[in-house]
Amino acid sequence: MVSSMNKPKVAFICVHNSCRSQMAEALGKLFASDVFESYSAGTETKDRINQDAVRLMKTEYGIDMEQTQSSKLIDDIPSVDVVITMGCNVECPYLPCKHREDWDLDDPSGKADEEFLTIMKRIETNILSLKKRVSDGTIPL
């Protein structure tokens, strides 16, 4: 078990920090806060989190992201150990870290609820995998 003072910091990065990275931050806090700290950020911000994401996270997980999170710039978060990009390819912001991976998630913004739910489940699965790999040392930090 990682002590709370030495928990690795994970940043979920996207360009706008309004949808996928926000869902990943919320699900990281929900499923893996005992193993790592979750942050999200982008190179640009939106005035509010994607409202479909907010609504569906409340329905599916009971999380009100508008109460606990906001759209943030990369400069607004602490230095991190792990950077997870959401699938923004060449536009993905760069942050120094010990481990980096891209989850290649399609942006569900403006699409049907089913698209959001599919992406949420993929994020949940990825969070649980990341938690296991950080816990068992597969990702050396």
Specify the fold of 4-135.
Answer: Rossmann fold (3.40.50)
| The model's pTM | 0.93
Instruction: Please report the pLDDT score of residue 1 as a whole number.
Output: 47
- Token pair listed for 59: 């329905």
Q: Which of 109, 41, 47 is nearest to 80 (CA)?
A: 41
Task: Decide: helix, strand or coil at residue 78.
Answer: coil
Average pLDDT over residues 28-50: 94
pLDDT tens track for 73-124: 999 999 999 999 998 766 766 789 999 999 999 999 999 999 999 999 999 9
Question: What is the distance between the alpha carbons of residues 21 and 141, in angstroms, rounded to a whole number?
Answer: 22
125-141 core/surface letters (b: 16 or more CB in 10 A; e: else): ebbeebbebbeeeebeb
Average pLDDT over residues 114-140: 97
pLDDT tens track for 13-36: 988 899 999 999 999 999 999 999
Q: What is the DSSP string of 82-133?
A: EEEE-S-GGGPPP---SEEEE--PPP-TTS-HHHHHHHHHHHHHHHHHHHHH
pLDDT at 47 over 50: yes
